[in-house]
Amino acid sequence: MRPPAFCLTLSLCLSPAVCATWDASRHAWYTDGAADFASALPIGNGRLGAAVFGTAVDKIVLNENSVWSGPWQNRANSASKNALSGIRQALVAGNISSAGQTALSSMAGNPTSPRAYNPLVNLGLDFGHGANSLSSYTRWLDTYQGIAGVNYVQGGVNYR
C-alpha cells in the first residue's frame, strides 16, 4: 500500500508546476497502480460506486446499491406503526432514553443486520500499454469534484 498523498507533498513540491496541479487539501495522488481493493480510489454518489485501480490493464470494480448477497429481504418491522404514538408521548414527557429504547426495539429493521454488498461487475480495460513501458505515472483522486484519473506517458504520448 502506498503512502497517502500528504507524504508525497514535500518531494513533489520541488516543482512549482506540480504543486499548482496537486493541492494536498483536495487531491490524493500516487505514483503507481493499486495493488488491492483497499488501495483503489473510491468514487460514487451513494447509489452508484466504483473503485479505480489505475493499473496498466485497468480494473474498475462497479457497485450499485441494490446488489446484495442473497435474495430480497423484507426488513420492515411490523411493530413500527403501533409504537409511534408511545414514542411521541415519551418524548413530550421528556423520557428521551425510554423513547429511544422503544424506537430501537420496535422500529429497527428485522433482521437488524442487512446483507452484504456484492460487486456489480469487475470491468477490465486493456489499452495495450505494458506496465514496464509507462513513465510519469500518476493516479489521482479529486475529493472536491469526486473524480479519479490516471495520467502517464507511453511511447512519447501523454495519456490522461
Helix (H) or strand (E) holding 6: helix 5-12
Q: What is the pTM of this model?
A: 0.59
Mean pLDDT score, 114-135: 85
pLDDT score, position 112: 64
CATH of span 5-69+114-154: 2.70.98.50
Question: pLDDT tens-digit profile of 43-71?
Answer: 998 888 999 999 888 899 999 888 877 77
**Contact indicator for 100, 118 with CB cutoff of 8 Å:** no
In the chain, where the domains are located: 5-69+114-154
Q: Which three cell numbers stand for residue 15?
A: 516543482
> Does the pLDDT of residue 8 top 50, yes or no?
no
- Tell me phi and psi for residue 17, to 5 degrees: -65, -40
